[in-house]
Homo-oligomer: A and B are copies of this chain.
Amino acid sequence: MNNKNNIKRSRRGSGAITLRDVAKLAGVAPITASRAVNTPEQVSPDVLKKVLDAVQRTGYVPNRIAGGLASSRSRLIAAVVPSTVMSVFMETIESLNASLFDAGYQLMLGQSGYSAAREELLLEAVIGRRPDGIFLTGILPPGKSRTRLLASGIPVVETWDLTPTPIDMLVGFSHSDIGRAVANFLMSRKRKRLALVRADDERAARRAAAFTEAVRARGLPDVFVVNVGDSRSLKSGREAMARIVWEAPDVDAIFCSSDLLALGVVTQARAQGVAVPDRMAVIGFGDVPFLAEMVPALSTVRINGAEIGKQAAHFLIERAQGRPIDPRVLDVGFAIVERDTT
């Protein structure tokens, strides 16, 4: 009779132990075994014991694919991260993943930032898995992808930014506020000629705009801007600093769009004999952990990436459980961390 089973199963399936096997061994119906495994409080102690026993003996691991199909709840969350600068978001991804895991969810990782065609494919792949939620790094501009996501009905949380028109939920902070705050911070330190070193990045652009605006509002000379393009490397920072020394020698404070650029600026300053912070103040963005312990320790804008991940996870889990989120926007803020370079 065992034989008959095997013959029957040989045609299809993975050959792995199923809930049916467990149920048979425990002498109960499959649904009872299911309940014993998933909602033990709904089952008598006697049955519970028999089922768990059978699970032990067979090494049964529930098939979440089948479960997901049956319940329309995949217990999967998709995270979309830009492939080029993943590192900045890692703290967030780690904390997101940890929070999700504790709640019984799995994280699927998608990398954006390639071609538009691949972006389209990524979205297809993501929606095709029917995740219970989608985590987006940044905000999605209006367009085909946004429409598509909206149409899918899957809860979405956008992050690392603020917008009056989120797709759904949002956990982030205001880049304009940062630009303004850093400008005021530097000006309050009696800096008179400010400069920006920034990568080609939409969020950096918004910080820059607010920074420039705040400087202008105080009647100081125009901000000297160095755009380093797509390269966020330390080397670009060095080159930018060399240009500033050459083209705008009166600059006495620089706001960089990333800590790495700032490190490059400081490195070059030392190479050219420009005293930091006496002659030149430098402040970065992102608070890469180890830069706090460099000499000189880098001043920077700290973003609590782990908090973003944690809160985003919370939002997504609540929604996945069918509970509404209100308000749907959370501003986690930022902090200017003053160290040696300002």
Identify 8 residue pairs between A and B in the complex whose beta-carbon atoms are under 8 Å apart, listed by A's number. A65-B68, A83-B98, A97-B110, A101-B118, A101-B121, A263-B290, A267-B294, A267-B295
- Do A129 and B111 touch (CB < 8 A)? no
Q: Which of B111, B148, B267, B293 contacts A238 (CB 8 A)?
A: B293
A78-121: which residues lie under 8 A (CB-CB) from chain B? 83, 86-87, 90, 93-94, 97-98, 101, 106-111, 118, 121
In the assembled complex, the Cα of A289 lies from the Cα of B130 at a distance in Å of 37
Q: Are B260 and A64 in contact (CB under 8 A)?
A: no
A 132-176 binary contact with B (CB < 8 Å = 1; else 0): 000000000000000010011100000000000000000000000
* Complex: chain B residue closest to A270, CB-CB: B295
Q: How far is A309 from B308 in the complex, measured between Cα atoms in Å?
A: 28
- List chain B residues, Cβ under 8 A from A63: 69, 128, 130
- Chain A binding surface SS class: helix
Supply 7 further A-B pairs (C-beta < 8 A) apart from A16-B130, A64-B129: A59-B151, A61-B152, A65-B65, A101-B118, A101-B125, A106-B108, A234-B294
> In the assembled complex, how far is the CB of residue A219 from the closest CB belonging to chain B, in whole angstroms?
37
**Cβ of A136 to closest chain B Cβ, rounded Å:** 16
Interface residue? A305 (CB, 8 A)? no
Q: In the complex, what's the smallest C-beta–C-beta distance from A325 to chain B, in angstroms?
A: 20
Point out the residue from B62, B93, B107, B130 that lies within 8 Å of A65, measured CB to CB: B130
Chain A residues numbered 31-65 whose CB sits less than 8 Å from any CB in chain B: 59, 61-65
Task: Collect the chain B residues with CB atoms within 8 Å of residue A294's CB.
Answer: 234, 263, 267
Separation of A234 and B97 alpha carbons in the complex (Å): 26
Q: Which residues of B contact A66 (CB under 8 A)?
A: 69
Contact B267 A65 (CB under 8 A): no
The answer to whether A101 and B122 touch across the interface, beta carbons within 8 angstroms, is yes
- The answer to whether B97 and A61 have CB atoms under 8 Å apart is no
- Contact status B233-A128, CB under 8 Å: no
| In the complex, the 4 A-B pairs of residues with the closest C-beta atoms, listed nearest first | A234-B290, A64-B128, A234-B293, A14-B72
Closest Cβ of chain B: how far from A309's Cβ, in Å? 12
Q: A74 at the A/B interface (Cβ < 8 Å)? A: yes
Closest residue on chain B to residue A14 by CB atoms: B72
A128 touches which one: B61, B153, B238 (CB < 8 A)?
B61
Asked whether any CB of chain B lies closer than 8 Å to the CB of A220, the reply is no
- Which B residue sits closest to A295, measured CB to CB? B267
**Chain B residues closer than 8 Å to A180, beta-carbon distance:** none
Inter-chain CA distance A270–B296, complex, in Å, is 12
Interface membership of A271, Cβ < 8 A: yes
Q: Which residues of B contact A90 (CB under 8 A)?
A: 86-87, 90
Q: CA of A59 to CA of B235 in the docked complex: distance in angstroms?
A: 46
Residue A127 interfacial (CB < 8 Å)? yes
A250 adjacent to chain B (CB < 8 Å): no
- Contact check, A290 vs B106: say whether CB atoms are below 8 A apart: no
Evaluate contact between B101 and A94: CB separation under 8 angstroms.
no
A129 and B289 CA atoms in complex are apart in Å by 35
Measured between beta carbons, the chain B residues less than 8 angstroms from A107 are: 108-109
- Bound Cα distance from A293 to B237, whole angstroms: 10
Q: How far is the CA of A101 from the CA of B264 in the complex (A)?
A: 34
- Would A83 and B94 count as touching, CB distance under 8 A? yes
